[in-house]
Chain A
Amino acid sequence: MTDEIKLKHPTNETEITREKVDQLCILAQLELTEEEAQKAVVDMKKTLDYLSQIEKAVVETESDPTSFFQEVLKEDTGTVVACNCGVELLESNAPAWQNGMLVVPKTF
């Protein structure tokens, strides 16, 4: 493919290709136009080339990865956040609403 661009990955050789962008779009639930997808290949290569500099950063101690998350893993204090908003406002924001329910396409 002509739109394949080699990307040096910090740890293992990989490449940003149109196929890889398509896979990311599936993960991110995004539909891109053909033009957007082609541009994404180029943009992602440039961006990831730059971001991969982080490989060179020396970290003094190999921190325990879970330590970063301790702050957010707090005990539930039982605080109840209630929204006293009316159904009318929820309904007015819903793209499709019927009989008090959100309308989505059938999945089964």
Chain B
Amino acid sequence: MQTINQSQPKDSTSILNLTALELAAAIQNRRISAVEATQECINCIKIKNKLNNSYISYNEENAIKQAKRVQSQIEQGKITSPLAGVPIAVKDNLCTKGMRTTCGSKMLEKFVPPYSATAIEKAEDAGIIILGKTNMDEFAMGSTTETSYFGPTRNPYDRNRVAGGSSGGSAAAVKENMCYLSLGSDTGGSIRQPASHCGVVGIKPTYGTVSRYGLVAYASDMDQIGPIGKDVADCVAMLEVIAGKDERDATSIDRRNNGGYNFKEALINDVKGMKIGIPSEYLDKGIQEEVCNAILQASRKLEKAGAKVEEFSLGKMEYVIPTYYILADAQASSNLERFDGVKYGYRAEHYENLHDLYKRSRGQGFGEEVKRRILTGTFVLSEGYYDAYYLKALQVKEEIRKAFDKAFGTYDVILGPVAPTTAPLLGESLANPLKMYLEDIYTVAANLAGLPAMSLPCGVDQNGLPIGLQLIANRFEEKKMIRVAYSYEQMEQMK
């Protein structure tokens, strides 16, 4: 097994080992320049990307140019953001003006967006430097980053294993110090699950907290952008940068009266009196024993620190996967209709007429998993099946939301695993698509109910592979989840 320790810089004093907030403070204090930090990341990418394939593209010249501009603005006192000068990576389904955005697909291999996503604009306004675009499952459809047209991202702990997905490149890049923070998107666990498999922290905020403008749509009522970072405080700082109501996304929410945007005030090392519930269904059959033990051990630590922890039955868990895949595939089949080889994207070389152009361009431009989901989505929306599948799934989604509402009447935070197992071997999941879908069992419910959820490391299995702890909070109550996560992280750092 090739471990991360063998591939990381031997110098423990390297600036790459700093957290994003530590780096930003060092830049503000003129101990390090944004240019120096950016160059270090680029050097690291040049060495490691051949090994782990985290980045689909990066632009050294552009990143250094951005860093010089930001450094100058910091020196003039024009930018004082807590993350000014920090180099980050961005999942390749977020539009970046003038920078290729492929969605991990042959369909968009050469697509250069004419505008940037709101989250990117906000990051740039805060003086954050975009290093490049990270690898992902094609159109975010997958849990391993293996469906990417550009090849799989390899796990930082064992390169024979997957990094998780769909934001696998974003998670691996953070763990391998190829950036200080990254942005991912989470439709059914795509931030939390790769964060878990790569031993980093990932947050999916409440639906509507971060504008989806410029995020290439997969399932519009569940897609949400969020940060992946080295620790909880870094993720919280990044979330504060990108969150906000946006007129260009009708589903974004003004949170000034809904929990607010000051997430860092929840960085409190104290869980006394907090009520934490563990759904008994989460620790039922199908979970790797070491994962189950790590979750229970984490819960005991929180209990020892003063939280009230108990198991309860959430209910409806057996329907979360069917509900999610019916709704997600239905939306995918609709959202991906725009890729037809006319306005942008791949166009087949040979075709006979307009419809032939559409069919061949889409047939050749999309990969196997995307086509599978488009066909399933088309089926569940077709006449005669719509009521039985799509409409029923909408009704069950509502029941799942009610089950969480009931749970949050008692508990501040729900605790559980992120994934039933640690990172699988490359090729293992792709061989059985249905098995891959079932691995999303613990993450999709938060998307169906629009809830905030996060992943943070809570141990390793016998092979040294990281295990992720998932925390879920009620809508607009990220602060409760962040408080528990931060407290747990502090306990682990004290060891």
Contact = CB atoms under 8 A, between A and B. Distances in A.
Contact of A105 (B326, B357, B371, B394): B357
A54 B114 contact: no
A61 B355 CA distance: 43
A95 B342 contact: yes
Listed residue (B351, B366, B394, B437) with the most chain A CB atoms within 10 angstroms of its CB: B394
B313 interface: no
Q: Is the interface of B mostly helix, strand, loop or mixed?
A: helix
B379 A9 contact: no
A27 B318 CA distance: 31
B344 interface: yes
Given A9-B388, A28-B375, A102-B342, A92 B112 contact: yes
Contact of A104 (B325, B342, B437): B342
6 contacts: A29-B355, A44-B372, A47-B434, A81-B248, A95-B341, A105-B356
A59 B396 contact: yes
B389 A10 contact: yes
Contacts of A107: 353-354
Contacts of A1: none
Contact of A55 (B361, B371, B388): B388
Contacts of B353: 105-107
Contact of B318 (A12, A44, A53, A106): A53
Nearest 5 pairs of A and B residues by beta carbon: A85-B114, A31-B363, A95-B347, A93-B344, A89-B114
A96 B396 contact: no
B75 interface: no
Contact of A51 (B342, B352, B355, B389): B389
B15 interface: no
A30 B114 contact: no
A51 B376 CA distance: 10
Contacts of B333: 28
Interface string B408-438: 0000000000000000000000000110010
B385 A9 contact: yes
A59 B319 CA distance: 11
B370 to A, nearest CB: 10
Contact of B375 (A40, A46, A52): A40
Contacts of A48: 376, 379
Contacts of A57: 316, 319, 323, 392, 395-396, 399
B251 to A, nearest CB: 8
Given A57-B396, A107-B353, A32 B362 contact: no
B311 interface: no
B395 A63 contact: yes
A93 B433 contact: no
Contacts of B77: none
A50 B251 CA distance: 31
Contacts of B385: 9
Given A24-B379, A54-B323, A93-B344, A40 B396 contact: no
Contacts of B359: 25, 29-31
Given A29-B340, A43-B372, A104 B114 contact: no
A28 B114 CA distance: 27
A33 B115 CA distance: 35
B326 A51 contact: yes
Contacts of B396: 54, 57, 59
